[in-house]
Each structure stands twice: as structure tokens, then as C-alpha cells.
Amino acid sequence: MAMELRVLLLLPLCFPGLHAQTAKEEESLPEGSNFSIQCPYTAEAEREWKAWCRVRDGICEPLVRTQYQTRYPQRNWATKGKITIEDDPMNRTMSITMADLQTEDSHTYACVHNSNRGRVTLRTISLTVFKELHKRELERLFVQCKYSTLMTETDIKAWCQRDQTSCKILARTDKTSSWRSSKALEDRTSIQDDTQRRIVTITMEKLQTQDSGTYWCALYSYSNTIQIMEVRLSVSKRTQQYTARESGNVSVQCPYSAPDYAAVRKAWCKKGATKSCAILAFTNLKSSRYHRTPQQGRIMIQDDTQRGIVTITMEKLRAQDSGVYWCALYELTQLFRMVEVTLNISEVSAGTTLSGTAGTSQSNPAGNTPAPSSNLNTFILLSVILSVVFILALVSLVALYVRQRKQRGGSRQAEDIYDKAEDIAQLDSTERMESPKDDSKDLKYVTLNFKSRLSSEDPLYCNVEPSQTRRMPEDEDVEYAIIAFKQLPTNDKG
């Protein structure tokens, strides 16, 4: 049956008039995604075989087909690998799904069914599965493209950059690595062809943001390029931001890959109105660990080749120092940006004195667009919070101290009423304050007994002058009573 189907599919090659004329559609999807398509058909195809095929040089190679022909309106489906086909006679629709797409799935496909007149093409689509890559500046691009057995080792493979109208060749397998069509990519792109494994390998060094775009691994023939694989490259730059004040200093750190670029000269340049960047300082090519080069009096550049960090120090800053700077690799006459630095210098108001590195704020060396001014805001916020907490604690302590003093004062006053016999006026006042309005309230008695005999030499404490006292008989007992009316709480009453 399979041979019969293939014969039917190949039959229209001898009779092109049997093909249904369908417009070729295009679809682009990223690697790893799924692809679905629906192909409507007419009533004459309800009971026919349906198939999903790959079209090469006008030949339809079936990848998956329905399991059987049916005279009844029921669903008919089949799966082969990651491709599923489903026939819905009720709606007269054929559906195909391709899961987990890979770049090698980029081909032209067609929905077909058989008829008494041969193969009928329902829908044709050119599917492109592209590889999506995200890189950062100075990183390396490494891509491998597999090609089919239809290509030979003598075929020329190329790496080209696509635009709206053409694909500009950057490297070819029939040329030496020194041949390039673009000065910007000089000595940065290489291509190798492994004819045994049928793999083309492309490498791009020192990536920059302007390298972002669409690329093809392609077969190069008679000045034409035929796509093997599409790559969509996105290159982002590392950024840092610093804020400082006039007359202060600023220190910038730019990280790089030490194994790759330790031996390369580094530069510090300022971006102008044009695309060029004016070099202000650069390191030498000595083999020592630290390259320290003072230039232009106020700028110092230092390269730690072991850690892979370039440090730039700018002293005695001026308002005109504000702008955009680059830490860059400096090779021959080319600059390859490592980090883009934005420096903002604020003017010092009259009467303000700065010393040392006052007013200098540094960013994170990792370069993910830090905002040093946020450190000052955070410090102010923390200071305010701590001040409020301190004030609340102080108020609580004062309130607690006053409360304790009041409690001690009340206890001391009660002791003075009963212990200080000399303060008769105070006692009378207390009696009046504590006297209840109701005579039926409970009474409190205090009795003082003096049973010791006093001599003329013994001291006498009284609320009268000593000259007003009289000698007591030796055996005479004296009793004093102080009566105070105190109102008891309601729950204490009988």
C-alpha cells in the first residue's frame, strides 16, 4: 500500500496538470516550538487517503498519512514521530501538528490527498525554524549547522547576514579566513566544514551590539545563497551609571574575561556626538599583573589581568566631564566596547567645600545599570526611622519615670501622715480631705502607747516647742489617738 501511495504521489510529476494550484505560504517559528496547520478539502476527498509530505525538488515525500480509507464520517488519525495527522470528515478538514521543532525541520511542506486523477495539493507552506541566541558584548558566538546528504564536500558553504533584500557574505569555505566583506567583522568570523559529519561550524569573536541581526548558514552557488539554517542573534551591552560632584573623584571598574583578553590593551574613551569615541587613557602591553598608566593628569587606568578588572580613576571632576564613556579593548585602531559608563557631574553650590572623594558615588562593577544616588536615599530613610524609634523609646522612658515618681510620692505622703507627729497642720488637712460625707462609714484607728519612762535628759519630739512641755509623772501612761475616716470600696462592705 505504501508503494501504491508513493506511485500516486509521484504520478503528477509526469502529468503536471493534475496538481492543484495553491499559493505557497511562509511561516517562521523559534526552535523548540510547535507548529499546527489545517487544510480544508472538498466532498470528493472525504473517503480518500490524506498525507503530510515534505517537498524537495518538486517531489512530495510523505511523512505521515491517515491509517485507512473510510466510508463513514468518523475521525481518522495517525502519529509518526513528533508529527500527528487527523482527518475530520464531518468538517472536511485535515489537521497536522509538528511538536518540538528543530532547525533541521526547515523545509517546504504540503497537505495532499489522492484522487482518481492523482495527487491533489491542498496547501503548501515554507516553514523556517530559526535558532534564537542572546549574547552580551565581548562574548563569543558558536554555531553548528547540519546539512543534508544532498550536499557534497565540494559545495561552498557560507555564513551571511540577512537584510531586507539580500544576504551579505561574511565568510565562505572556499576562501581563506582573511577574506571578509565587512571591515567591522575583520578577524572576528571564521567558518569550518566537517565533511565527514556534514557540519559547518561558525565562530564570531568580540560581539558588539551592531552585530545583532539575522544570519544564515547557506549553500553558496553562482552568487546565490540557499538557506541551510537561520540564526537570529541579539547582542546587549553592559552598562554602568555614576553620579559625582565637582572637585570630587570617581572610580570605575570594568570586568572582562581574563583568559580571553588579559593580554589585550584596554582603553578609556569618551563618546562624542558622532559614532567615534575619543581615547583618554590606555594601558601598555607589559606582562606584569598591574598595568598602571597615568594620562592627562586627572585620569589613571589600571588593569588587573589576574582578576580580569580594569579600574579607571578620574580626579578633580568638572561639570564638563559629564557624558558617556567606554571601557574598551584597544586592538590596532579598533575599539571593542566592554562596558558603557554614564557619568553625571553635579555643580557645587557657593560656599560648599569638597575634599577627597566627597560627593562620589560608585556603581556595581558587574555593570547592570546601578543607581548610586539610591544609596543616599536609603541612608536618609534609615536615619529617619532610627530617629523616630529613639524618640519613641525616650518618651516611653520619661513616662515610666514620671509614673514611678508619682507612685513613690503617694506612698511617701501616706507615711508622712502617720509617722510625722510634728506636722499637725498636715494631719488636719489630711483628715479633712479623707473625711467621708456619710458618718456611717467605717472607722480607722491608730493608737500610740508610750510606756517608757522619760528622764529630763531624754529628747522629746513633739509639734510644740520644748519649753512648752511639762514633766510627766513617772508612772503615768499617755495614749494618743488619731481618727481618720476612709471610704472603702463598695465590694468591701458587709
In Å, what is the CA distance from 331 to each residue of 266, 277, 292, 328, 337?
Answer: 8, 14, 18, 9, 11
pLDDT on residue 363: 43
Statement to judge: residues 395 and 488 lie in one domain: no
Phi, psi of 390 (to 5 degrees): -65, -45
Among 128, 154, 173, give the residue marking a domain's end.
128
pLDDT in tens, 311-366: 999 999 999 999 999 999 999 889 999 999 999 998 876 554 433 333 334 444 43
Mean pLDDT of the chain: 76
Q: Could you tell me the CATH number of the domain that includes residue 61?
A: 2.60.40.10
Question: Above pLDDT 90, what percent of the chain?
Answer: 44
Contact residues for 305 (Cβ-Cβ < 8 A; gap 6+): 258, 262, 263, 289, 290, 291
Lowest mean pLDDT among 213-222, 354-363, 454-463: 354-363
In angstroms, the CA 388 to CA 167 distance is 67
Q: Hey, which of 131-140, 174-183, 465-474 has the most confident mean pLDDT?
A: 131-140
pLDDT at 273: 84
pLDDT given for residue 117 in this prediction: 73
Residues 250 and 362 in one domain: yes
Q: Report the predicted TM-score, pTM, of the whole model to 2 decimal places.
A: 0.61
- State residue 440's pLDDT score: 44
pLDDT digits (tens, 9 = 90+) for 73-88: 667 888 999 999 999 8
Note whether 333 and 453 are same-domain residues. Answer: no
- For residue 85, give its domain range: 2-128
Instruction: Give the pLDDT of residue 433.
Output: 40
- Lowest-confidence region among 22-26, 380-384, 392-396, 424-428: 424-428
Same domain, 10 and 123: yes
| Domain count for the chain | 5
79 with 148, same domain: the answer is no
The predicted structure's pLDDT at residue 372 = 45
- Please check the confidence at residue 192 and state whether its pLDDT lies above 80: yes
Q: How confident is the model at residue 149 (pLDDT cuts 50, 70, 90)?
A: confident
Range of lowest pLDDT (67-81, 136-150, 159-173, 404-418):
404-418
pLDDT in tens, 14-68: 333 334 446 789 999 999 999 999 999 988 888 888 999 999 888 889 999 987 6
Residue with cell 560648599: 352
Same domain for 185 and 304: no
335 vs 380 pLDDT, higher one:
335
Cα–Cα distance for residue pair 446/436, rounded to 1 Å:
18
Residues 341 and 353 in one domain: yes
Domain end point (choices 111, 128, 145): 128
